[in-house]
Amino acid sequence: MEQAQAFWVTAPGRGEIRPVILPAPAVDEVLVRTHFSAISRGTELLVLAGRVPPDQRQAMRAPFQDGEFPGPVKYGYLNVGVVEAGPPELLGRTVFCLYPHQTAYVLPAAAVLPVPDGVPAQRAVLAGIVETAINALWDAAPQVGDRACVVGAGMVGCCVARLLAQIPGTQVTLVDVDPARAPIAAALGVAFAAPDEIDGEHEIVVHASASAAGLQLCLDLLAPGGEVLELSWYGTSTVSLALGGAFHSGRLGIRASQVGTVAAARRGTRSRRDRLALALQLLQDPAYDCLLDGVSAFTDLPTLLPALADRPGLCHVIRYRIRRSGNPDDQQGAVSRCSV
């Protein structure tokens, strides 16, 4: 038996670190020592605030969540560590897992995916976010040369914009109220605009700002007959829209995309594991380093998470104390920061 530590949301706005007793791994299990995890701001801050709707508490469970909403609950799904015990082919490998913030954990070997060569361990925490973006593109079905805009330059919106930009001939604009996101857009290879700086009709419109104003802007930017792809999760918030304009005459639509299931267009040919493995492969692209905007210690989580609710940002990385000497990034190469 080994004791680990895990972060729990104990009540709305509050969290604490609790001890966890780990069992010895069985023959088909692995013991993973966490090196990095990351905070998915949109979802985790709603969980921290206790704003998961009662009728969505089962649907919004994380794969290895402990406890129940609104709390106490152990929640999170962006975790990278090293396998310290398990099958020979995984022993010593850096792996990604959809696991909460915890110093070490034991789970089935099939639940982890090796991080490919060329992907730094710190960048690999973005795999769950890039996976969401992949699912969004499978839902949106963009075409060569499309005019596309993504409203909301958070983690998910930025990843969607980067994937769209790699489709030949596609004109991509990332839209956000924060002008500080303009250098991020440039690093991702897309244009940037404030909400009052963009117009025109776009074949692909993706919403990721989690605001009614953002969703309304998406409808205003959509070409006739088009569909806004909605990636935002609003929790218990109510969204009001003005649908008396071109919504009916333009035959516009709004469709949700959610990572909990594989997009219908690929459900018969790709599994969730396939989708996550693809996300890890795509993270060989160093452009994603611009989304890593801060690093804090695991022991800071009880004060850090409430503080993040009051300041803007992208991917905040949690660093864990490692038993071995040396930088954990050395196993996969250090993250090279882009200048933004």
Domain residue extents for the chain = 2-128+270-331, 142-256
Q: Could you check whether the bond before residue 286 is cis, i.e. omega within 30 degrees of 0?
A: no
pLDDT at 74: 98
Asked if the domains at 2-128+270-331 and 142-256 fall in one CATH topology, the answer is: no
Q: Is the pTM of this model over 0.85?
A: yes
Q: Which helix (H) or strand (E) holds 135?
A: helix 127-140
Is the pLDDT reported for residue 337 higher than 60? no
- Structure tokens of 37? 């995890």
- Is the omega angle on the peptide bond into residue 70 within 30 degrees of 0, that is, cis? yes
Q: How confident is the model at residue 245 (pLDDT cuts 50, 70, 90)?
A: confident
Domain 142-256 has CATH 3.30.530.20: no
Residue 64, both tokens = 């290895």
Backbone angles phi, psi at 177, to 5 degrees: -75, -15
Q: pLDDT of 261-291, one tens digit each? A: 999 999 999 999 999 999 999 999 999 999 9
Structure tokens at 178: 């924060």
pLDDT single digits (tens) 121-162? 999 999 999 999 999 999 999 999 999 999 999 999 999 999
Residues 6+ apart with CB under 8 A from 90: 30, 83, 109, 112, 114
Residue of 164, 186, 211, 194 lying closest to 287 (CA atoms): 186
Dig out the tokens for 150 from the structure. 């993504």
Determine the 3-state secondary structure of 165 from DSSP: helix
d(CA 301, CA 238): 29
What's the pLDDT at 89? Answer: 97
How does DSSP assign 62-115, residue by residue?
Answer: -TT-EE-TTSSEE----EEEEEEES-TTTTT-EEEE---SBSEEEEEGGG-EEP
Beta bridge partners of 191: 173
- 98-120 residue pLDDT tens: 999 999 999 999 999 999 999 99
pLDDT of res. 323: 63
Where does residue 26 rank: exposed (0-12), middle (13-18), buried (19+ CB within 10 A)?
A: exposed
For the ranges 71-80, 211-220, 237-246, 311-320, which has the lowest average pLDDT?
237-246
Mean pLDDT, range 232-260, rounded to an integer:
90
What is the pLDDT at residue 240? 92
The pLDDT tens digits of the residues spanning 15-60 come to: 999 999 999 999 999 999 999 999 988 889 999 999 999 998 998 8
How remote is the C-alpha of 41 from its chain's centroid? 8
- The count of C-alpha atoms lying within 13 angstroms of the C-alpha of 306, restricted to the half-sphere facing its C-beta, is 12
Residue 325: per-residue pLDDT: 41
- pLDDT (tens digit per residue) in 202-227: 999 999 999 999 999 999 999 999 99
Q: Distance between CA atoms of 27 and 254, rounded to whole angstroms?
A: 47
Q: What pLDDT is recorded for position 328?
A: 46
Quick: pLDDT tens for 284-324: 999 999 999 999 999 999 999 999 988 889 999 999 987 65
CATH 3.90.180.10 holds for 2-128+270-331: yes
Strands (E) located in the chain: 2-11, 14-22, 29-39, 66-67, 73-74, 79-85, 94-97, 104-108, 113-114, 147-151, 171-175, 191-193, 204-207, 227-230, 253-256, 292-297, 315-319
DSSP, res 41: H
Average pLDDT score over residue span 167-189:
98
